[in-house]
A = this chain, B = another copy of it.
């Protein structure tokens, strides 16, 4: 069990929660936190397990505390598209919505902090700090979705892979300050199949393009999941994006 996300918060209260300052509760005052605390409970979901099925009644909303989850849409014939990649602090569900619109699946073992939906909706009305933060998060996600749409609609397979690796690299180096120019290392949180769902490709194409980037010296692999990027600039240049996105 190398990746034990499980015993992270669960006790200690909101004050020492790892996502305290990034999630919907980011702007809450201590007394507001107390109200949230009343209606919250933790849930741990094993890798690969579904958290919600599209069409399900949803009696809660939640924040991802640890792990990685995905939002996906599936067509009748099995074609699948990821439409959201949920990292710690990201929000699950929608206030005011009874039925889930998308599948939510734990990609790795995931801990979520659930709030019963009805009380949460009430609380939203008289805790403007939560609503404010939720609006900000929704607008951020909308921006991300729009960049993702450019990727899906117009980028080549190679550009798609380079873009995804850049996105993951960027977030991996958010905490650990990267001295610029130095090589960057990180673990892929996604299988090849999940990557293909994210990028609108087949898993074979994902595999081929990763091999091609490796051949061209843009990345190195240690095992299948650990990636080393010797020169981030060079990888960025393959994404098709304008410099500095």
Contacts and interface: CB of A to CB of B under 8 A. Distances in A.
Copies held by the complex: 2
A73 interface: yes
A102 B154 CA distance: 16
A58 interface: no
Nearest to A143: B101
Contacts of A81: 149-150, 153-154
B154 A75 contact: yes
Nearest to A102: B146
Which label, helix, strand, loop or mixed, suits the secondary structure of the A interface? helix
Q: Which range holds the interface residue count of chain A? A: 35 or more
Interface in A135-156: 135-136, 138-139, 141-143, 145-150, 152-154
Interface in A103-157: 125, 128, 131-132, 134-136, 138-139, 141-143, 145-150, 152-154
B101 A152 contact: no
B143 A145 contact: no
B200 A153 contact: yes
A192 interface: no
B154 A79 contact: yes
A71 B142 CA distance: 12
Interface string A222-245: 000000000000000000111000
Most buried by B among A71, A76, A148: A148
Contact of A138 (B76, B84, B142): B142
A80 interface: yes
A20 interface: no
16 contacts: A73-B146, A73-B149, A75-B154, A75-B242, A76-B240, A83-B149, A83-B150, A128-B128, A128-B131, A131-B135, A135-B135, A135-B138, A138-B139, A152-B152, A153-B199, A154-B200
Interface of A: 71, 73, 75-76, 79-81, 83-84, 94, 96, 101-102, 125, 128, 131-132, 134-136, 138-139, 141-143, 145-150, 152-154, 199-200, 240-242
